[in-house]
Structures are given as structure tokens and as C-alpha cells.
């Protein structure tokens, strides 16, 4: 219900978007409220976005009437104080939080990251790496140990040690034992940002010095650079092989894939063979179809064979990967989209990527400068002195900082919404008490405290800025007004029209009684069908019927020894059904027909009655009746609102809008 409500609100808002400015000359008034011509024009233009705007008198007046109705409803909701209701403001707060996210970022840095990612996506880098593991929350001693080990390995490589052999012997990446540290080709947004940065900034044949990511210290070597191959979609026929497969298993798998390939070369249908022969149960039902993929998403043997296919419909010879045998068919190749077409997708990917921290850090630094962030380092040190070993267990309590209430830092706004706001030691203590388990650092309370302090500063800055978005960004203020109007419109319309039409059963029945002729049913025919076992049964039936016995009495006599001799059915059909299913009978009472049934039986059909066109019962016509009842309720409601809040249209201003 809630998602439907959100959808309705957004549709209403799309239809009635508000403008940013209001002319001093009103176009119309609703009671004591004036709505400017500029506001209406902006609404009208947005409603016609993407098509030529029709300024004819008919089109403009029709839309003006709709917009006036909208303004009437919103005014009524505000007069009823619905905008002060807790439920309404809770919803508005949810909208505000969602909308604010797009303003609480460094858009310039984000755009730079988008452009950088797109540029990098045009290249694919073949890299090998050596990893010295080090937890991102490791103690300084453990961090130093990992760094020194990575430095030692780097110096050995510089002196000529083989990179792949060093990776097999020393890398903390388990796959290095098999691949010698060779990761194959990667592209942007596939690895953590520091790793990507290193890969894209090292010349072919060169290696990096040790650098840190959240996994530890890396040394990488760039083997090759190639142009992006885009994405590809394929189908495959798969025969499984595992590390535990025996020699006989391997022979059987090879024979099976060869047989499938032979059938293809003889004209067999790839999709049908995939359905019957492929051992990839996930894709077999879809004719072997796999989701589209790009570089680095599949094992190299499979990926290279797939991208080697040139033409749509081409298929490979059987190829072996570490999972088994494949025959691959090309369905589609898609090059990298243009930046404009890909921009929003990249934006969403970057928001989830580790590089998002770059934009966040930039935003926080700018906010600190804008709001004159002033820190009391002595107060911070004093509070830290109250952090004992319980902090590293997530058990620290604010009691240990009782009495500490000095100012930690201050934010100052002199222009948007003038305020000097102090954040105290007790504020941070409360934050730590509630959030410490998210920042667990078993080995170092100073690092743990520092992370929580920084997080508290960031959340405080964002909250301080969020409270000022209305003042700083007029578009944000307009959208918030639109959201509020949309919520009010939904709530009041639901109360007065939508839910009322469903819940007011008495009103619905009264409406139906007055308008039921609008919901005519078809003519109906009622047919009695007598099913008799054989020809002798027909003779017996006719004799008994001639004596005036009814069907029930006849059934008792005929079925005395055999219950299958006679049975009777009565069915009613609409005119449209009768025309197609019962042709042969005339559309009149008394019309009869005899049909041959199954196993030598006979059917005697007779038209019992004809029902003329009548209104559908309410339950059968309910959907139509409810819709019409809602329309009636809305029409009457609008009329009452127009009487309550008189409308005056400035015809002179309207004349300037209308283009004849």
C-alpha cells in the first residue's frame, strides 16, 4: 500500500509541479490565495515537456481548470491543518532525507570521478599482483610488520626476482598458488579504488611500490593494456568437470561435448541441444543463455573464447575451462555506451564504490570551511582519557565521562540561517555509547576513538548543512513544497474519494440503485440438457414426460436399477456465449435439439427461458460502480470546494498566455 501511495504522489507531483517564481500579477485566486501567471506557465510547460506546447485557448483553459482543482484540494488540506499532522510530517521527513542525499555530496568531485571512470573503462589492464595481508583495523605494530615484509619483497623484485614465482611463494592471495598472481584483465569499477589507481598509472612492463588497501599491501605489475571489448551475451552448452574427476570422467565429458558439437555441425538447434544436453541447470532452461558480461567477469578461457566470436550466431569449438567443457554461441556484442548515456549508471556505481569516499571527504572539508569548523583539541584529549579497555570490547558507558561537558567543536553559519552551534564532550560521549560496536578495534582504542570522533564530526556537519538546504538551494525548497502538496493531496483525496468509495457500502449501494441502468448485462438463455444412456432410454423418457411427470420423478423411475440411465443439467449462457457455444438452438423459449453424446448416449437440449437485458448485479459490476462512484464523489467535492473558496480568473493575464 505504501509503495502504491508513493507512486500516486509522484504521479500527482509530475502532473502538478510547482514553479520557482510567482509574478506580482496573479492569474487566478483561490479564496484569499493568489497564484501567479509565471507559476502556472512553468507548471504547464513541465506538463508538456518533450512535446510541442499547445497554447490554444481550449488546451490552456482545460489545464487551468485541472490546476485550479489541484490548488483547491491543497488549500482545503492546509485549512484542515493536515500539514501539521505527525504522520504527514513523518512522511515528509522521509522524502527530505532521500532528496537531501543528492545535495549533500561534492558534485564537482563526483563529476570528475565519473569522467575518470568512463575514461578508464575504455581500457583494460592485464595485471599481476602480490598481496601481503593486513587487516584495515590492524594495530600499528602489525601494520608495520606487513609493510616491512612488502618492502622486502619489492626490493627482491627490483633486484631481478621472478614476479610470478614470488607471488606463488609469498602472496597472501590464495589463487596465487595456481596463477602466479596473474589476475588477467581488469577495468574500472572492478577492484578497490587504490588498486585501480595503481593499475591505471603504471606503464606496461613496470611494477608499483607497495601500496595499501583495506586488504593489505599490494605490489602490482602491469603486463598489457588493450582497448575495452565492451560487453557480450552468449549461450553455452556445458559439460561439467571437477578437480576430483577421474580419467574416465574426463573421457566421458569430452565424448559428450564432442557429440553435441557434431550435432550442431549437422544442423542441430543450439538452444534445443542446450536444454537437453547442458549441465548448467541455471541456463539450460533458457537455451543456454547467460547474462551479459564484460572483462573480468568470467574465467579467462571462457571469456577469451566468447570474445573471439565475430558474428552473431557463430559458435565455438568445444573449449575447456576449470569448470568443464563449453560450446559458446554469440548472441550480442555491445560496445561501451557514450558518456551521456552511461552517466547516471556510473553515478550509481560510484556511490557504491570505494572511490565515493573521495567525494565524501571533499564535501566534509568544504563544509568545515563553509561553517568555520573550530576544534577544541584539549577537550578531545580530555574525553579520550576517559576511554578505558571496555571501549575495545564495545562496553564503554557514558558514566566514565560524567561531568565532562566542554565544547569539542563549533559550527558557525552567518548567512543561510544564522547560528553558532556548539558540540560538547557529552554529545560525543552519547554517540560513542550508542555506536561503539560498529567501530570495534580490539587492538587500539586510540584508532577506535579517532574513527568515532571523525564520524561524529561528519554526521554533525551533514545535519547542520541539511537543515539549511532550503535556504541555500531554492530548487530544494520548491521540491519540498511539492512533496508536501503531494502528500496532502493524496491524504485528502484518499479520505474524500478513493477510500470513501470503497468503505461507504451504503453510499455505494445507493449510487448503484440510482445508476444501475449504466451497467447493462447481456440477454441470457437458460438451457436444460437431459443426458440419456441409450436410444431405449430416450423412448422411456418421452413416454414418462408425455404422462406429465417432472424430471425428478422421471429420474427416480429410470435410474431405479442403473443410476447412469438419466441425468439432467441446467445452464445459463449470455448471448455472446450462446452464439459461439450453442449454435443449433433457436433463441426462443421451447426450442429443442438432440445431440449424440459419448458412448452411444444422447443429449436432449431445450430452451427453458430467455432473460431480457437487465442491469448487472452490484457485485458483478463493482469495479465499474466504484470507479463511477469515485468520479461522482470527486465532482461533488470539487463543486463544494469552489463554493467554499471562490475562484477568480484574471482574464487579461490569461489572454497573454493563450496564443490564437
251 vs 267: CA distance, rounded Å = 25
Strand ranges, E, within 228-385 = 231-240, 319-321, 324-334, 374-375
Kindly report, residue by residue over 521-536, the tens digit of the pLDDT.
989 999 999 999 999 9
From residue 214, alpha-carbon distances to 138, 278, 348, 444, 644 in Å are: 10, 40, 22, 17, 65
Same domain, 624 and 514: yes
CB < 8 Å & 24+ apart, contacts of 553-562: 562/533
**464, 414: one domain:** yes
3-state secondary structure 48-112: CCCCCCCCCHHHHHHHHHHHHHHHHHHHHHHHCCHHHCHHHHHHHHHHHHHHHHCCCCCHHHHHH
The per-residue pLDDT for range 554-601, each reduced to its tens digit, is 999 999 999 999 999 999 988 888 876 666 788 899 999 888 888 889
Q: Is residue 360 part of a domain?
A: no
CA–CA dist 140, 274 (Å, integer): 55
**Same domain, residue pair 73 and 166:** no
Predicted pLDDT of residue 16: 47
β-pairing verdict for 419-424 and 407-413? antiparallel
Q: Which long-range contacts (CB under 8 A, 24 or more apart) does 513-519 make?
A: 515/625, 515/628, 516/615, 516/616, 516/618, 516/621, 517/615, 518/624, 518/628, 519/615, 519/616, 519/621, 519/624, 519/625
Distance in angstroms (rounded) separating the CA atoms of residues 342 and 114: 9
Same domain, 85 and 135: no
634-643 residue pLDDT tens = 999 999 999 9
Give the burial string for 289-302 (b: 16+ CB within 10 Å, else e): bbeebbbbebebeb
Contacts 24+ apart (CB under 8 A), 22-28: 25/650, 25/653, 26/650, 26/653, 27/64, 27/649, 27/650, 27/653, 27/654, 27/657, 28/64, 28/68, 28/647, 28/648, 28/649, 28/650
Same domain (yes/no): 639, 599: no
Nearest to 114 by CA among 320, 291, 359, 336: 359
Residue 192 falls inside a structural domain? yes
Beta bridge partners of 422: 410
Q: What are phi and psi of 114, to 5 degrees?
A: -65, -45
pLDDT of residue 578: 82
Tell whether 61 is covered by a domain. yes
For residues 222 and 272, state if they share a domain: no
Average pLDDT of the chain, as a whole number: 91
pLDDT value of position 22: 37
Q: Which of 512, 520, 517 is nearest to 574 (CA)?
A: 520
pLDDT tens digits, residue range 400-428? 999 999 999 999 999 999 999 999 999 99
Residue 361 located in a structural domain: no
Is residue 208 one of the residues assigned to a domain? yes
pLDDT at residue 31 tops 70? yes
Residue 562 inside a domain? The answer is: yes
Domain with 327 in it: what CATH number? Answer: 3.10.50.40
What pLDDT sits at residue 3? 52
Number of domains in the chain: 5
Do 492 and 634 belong to one domain?
yes
Residue 532, domain CATH: 3.10.50
Q: Which of 45-49, 60-64, 456-460, 580-584 is least confident? A: 580-584
Question: Which of the four pLDDT bands, split at 50, 70 and 90, describes residue 19?
Answer: very low
Q: Which residues contact 322 (CB under 8 A, 6 or more apart)?
A: 299, 301
The pair phi, psi for residue 28, each rounded to 5°, is -155, 165
- Tell me which residue has cell 578497490: 192
pLDDT, tens digit (0-9, with 9 covering 90-100), for 374-386? 999 999 999 999 9
pLDDT at 582: 61
Going by the DSSP 8-state scheme, the letter that residue 400 receives in this structure is G
Low-confidence winner among 339-348, 460-469, 471-480, 570-579 (lowest mean pLDDT):
570-579
pLDDT in tens, 199-228: 999 999 999 999 999 999 999 999 999 999
Q: Does 508 fall in a domain?
A: yes
Digit-coded pLDDT (tens) for 348-358: 999 888 898 89
Any idea what the CATH number is for the domain that residue 653 is in?
1.10.4030
Residue 593 to residue 468: CA distance in whole angstroms: 84
Question: Is the pLDDT reported for residue 24 higher than 50?
Answer: no
- pLDDT, one tens digit per residue, over 598-622 is 888 999 999 999 999 999 999 999 9
H/E element holding 129? strand 123-133
| Phi and psi, residue 391, nearest 5° | -60, -40
Cell of 512: 448503484
Note whether 151 and 207 are same-domain residues: yes
Given 453, 470, 487, the domain boundary residue is 470
Give domain status of residue 339, yes or no. no
Please tell me whether residues 391 and 439 are part of one structural domain. Answer: yes
- For residues 78 and 199, give the distance between their C-alpha atoms in angstroms, rounded to a whole number: 59
Domain that holds residue 264: 231-334
Residue % of the chain over a pLDDT of 70? 95
| Burial class of residue 532, CB neighbours in 10 A (0-12, 13-18, 19+) | buried
Mean pLDDT of 627-653: 95
Nine-digit cell at 253? 565429458
Let me know whether 36 and 1 are in one domain: yes
Collapsing DSSP states into helix, strand and coil, what is residue 545?
helix
The mean pLDDT value for 1-7 works out to 52
Residues 606 and 588: their CA atoms lie apart, in Å, by: 10
Check residue 18 and give its pLDDT: 40
**What residues contact residue 433 under an 8 Å CB cut-off, 6+ apart?**
396, 397, 398
Q: What percent of the chain shows pLDDT beyond 90? A: 78
583 contacts 576 by C-beta, under 8 angstroms: no
Question: Same domain for 99 and 4?
Answer: yes
Residue 7 has pLDDT above 70, yes or no: no
> Taking 70 as the threshold, does the pLDDT of residue 296 lie above it?
yes
Residues 423 and 385 in one domain: yes
pLDDT at 134: 93
Amino acid at each position: 500500500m505504501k509503495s502504491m501511495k508513493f507512486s500516486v504522489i509522484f504521479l500527482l507531483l509530475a502532473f502538478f509541479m510547482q514553479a520557482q517564481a510567482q509574478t506580482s500579477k496573479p492569474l487566478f485566486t483561490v479564496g484569499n490565495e493568489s497564484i501567479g501567471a509565471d507559476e502556472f506557465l512553468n507548471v504547464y510547460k513541465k506538463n508538456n515537456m518533450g512535446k510541442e506546447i499547445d497554447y490554444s485557448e481550449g488546451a490552456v483553459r482545460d489545464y487551468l481548470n485541472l490546476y485550479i482543482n489541484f490548488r483547491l484540494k491543497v488549500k482545503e488540506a492546509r485549512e484542515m491543518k493536515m500539514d501539521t499532522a505527525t504522520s504527514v510530517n513523518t512522511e515528509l521527513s522521509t522524502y527530505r532525507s532521500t532528496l537531501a542525499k543528492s545535495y549533500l555530496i561534492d558534485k564537482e568531485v563526483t563529476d570528475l570521478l565519473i569522467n575518470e571512470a568512463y575514461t578508464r573503462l575504455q581500457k583494460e589492464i592485464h595485471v599481476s599482483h602480490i598481496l601481503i595481508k593486513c587487516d584495515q583495523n590492524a594495530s600499528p605494530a602489525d601494520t608495520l610488520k606487513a609493510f616491512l615484509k612488502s618492502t622486502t619483497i619489492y626490493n627482491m623484485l627490483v633486484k631481478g626476482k621472478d614476479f610470478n614465482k614470488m607471488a606463488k611463494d609469498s602472496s597472501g592471495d590464495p589463487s596465487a598458488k595456481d596463477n602466479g598472481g596473474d589476475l588477467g584483465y581488469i577495468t574500472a569499477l572492478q577492484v578497490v579504488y587504490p588498486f585501480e589507481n595503481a593499475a591505471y598509472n603504471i606503464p606496461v612492463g613496470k611494477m608499483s611500490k607497495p601500496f595499501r588497501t583495506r586488504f593489505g599491501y599490494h605490489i602490482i605489475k602491469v603486463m598489457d593494456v588493450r582497448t575495452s571489448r565492451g560487453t557480450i551475451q552468449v549461450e553455452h552448452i556445458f559439460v561439467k568437470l571437477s578437480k576430483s574427476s577421474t580419467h574416465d570422467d574426463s573421457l566421458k565429458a569430452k565424448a559428450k561435448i564432442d557429440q553435441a558439437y557434431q550435432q550442431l555441425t549437422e544442423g542441430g538447434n543450439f538452444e534445443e541441444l542446450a536444454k537437453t544436453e547442458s549441465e548448467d541447470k541455471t541456463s539450460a532452461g533458457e537455451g543456454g543463455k547467460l547474462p551479459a558480461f564484460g572483462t573480468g567477469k568470467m574465467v579467462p578461457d571462457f571469456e577469451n573464447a566468447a570474445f573471439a566470436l565475430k558474428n552473431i550466431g557463430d559458435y565455438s569449438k568445444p573449449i575447456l575451462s576449470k569448470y568443464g567443457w563449453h560450446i559458446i554461441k554469440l548472441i550480442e556484442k555491445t560496445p561501451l555506451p557514450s558518456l551521456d548515456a552511461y552517466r547516471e549508471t556510473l553515478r550509481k556505481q560510484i556511490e557504491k564504490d570505494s572511490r565515493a569516499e573521495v567525494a565524501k571527504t571533499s564535501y566534509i572539508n568544504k563544509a568545515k570551511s563553509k561553517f568555520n569548523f573550530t576544534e577544541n583539541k584539549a577537550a578531545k584529549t580530555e574525553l579520550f582519557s576517559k576511554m578505558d579497555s571496555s571501549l575495545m570490547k564495545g562496553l564503554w558507558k557514558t558514566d566514565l565521562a560524567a561531568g565532562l561537558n566542554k565544547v569539542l567543536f563549533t559550527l558557525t553559519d552567518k548567512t543561510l540561517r544564522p547560528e553558532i552551534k556548539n558540540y560538547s564532550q557529552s554529545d560525543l560521549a552519547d554517540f560513542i555509547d550508542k555506536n561503539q560496536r560498529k567501530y570495534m578495534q580490539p587492538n587500539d582504542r586510540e584508532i577506535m576513538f579517532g574513527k568515532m570522533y571523525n564520524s561524529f564530526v561528519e554526521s554533525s556537519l551533514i545535519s547542520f548543512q541539511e537543515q539549511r538546504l532550503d535556504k541555500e538551494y531554492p530548487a530544494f525548497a520548491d521540491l519540498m513544497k511539492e512533496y508536501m502538496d503531494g502528500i496532502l493531496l493524496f491524504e485528502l483525496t484518499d479520505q474524500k474519494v478513493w477510500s470513501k468509495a470503497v468503505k461507504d457500502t451504503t453510499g455505494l449501494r445507493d449510487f448503484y440503485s440510482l445508476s444501475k441502468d449504466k451497467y447493462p448485462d447481456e440477454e441470457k438463455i437458460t438451457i436444460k440438457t437431459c443426458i440419456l444412456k441409450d436410444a431405449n432410454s430416450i423412448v422411456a423418457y418421452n413416454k414418462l414426460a408425455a404422462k406429465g411427470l417432472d424430471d425428478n420423478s422421471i429420474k427416480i423411475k429410470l435410474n431405479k436399477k442403473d443410476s447412469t440411465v438419466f441425468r439432467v443439467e441446467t445452464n445459463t449462457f449470455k448471448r455472446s456465449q450462446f452464439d459461439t457455444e450453442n449454435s443449433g438452438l433457436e433463441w426462443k423459449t421451447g426450442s429443442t435439439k438432440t445431440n449424440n453424446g459419448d458412448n452411444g448416449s444422447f443429449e436432449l437440449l431445450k430452451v427453458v427461458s430467455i432473460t431480457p437485458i437487465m442491469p448487472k448485479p452490484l457485485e458483478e459490476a463493482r469495479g465499474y460502480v466504484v470507479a463511477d462512484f469515485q468520479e461522482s464523489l470527486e465532482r461533488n467535492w470539487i463543486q463544494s470546494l469552489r463554493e467554499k473558496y471562490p475562484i477568480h480568473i484574471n482574464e487579461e493575464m490569461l489572454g497573454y498566455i493563450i496564443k490564437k
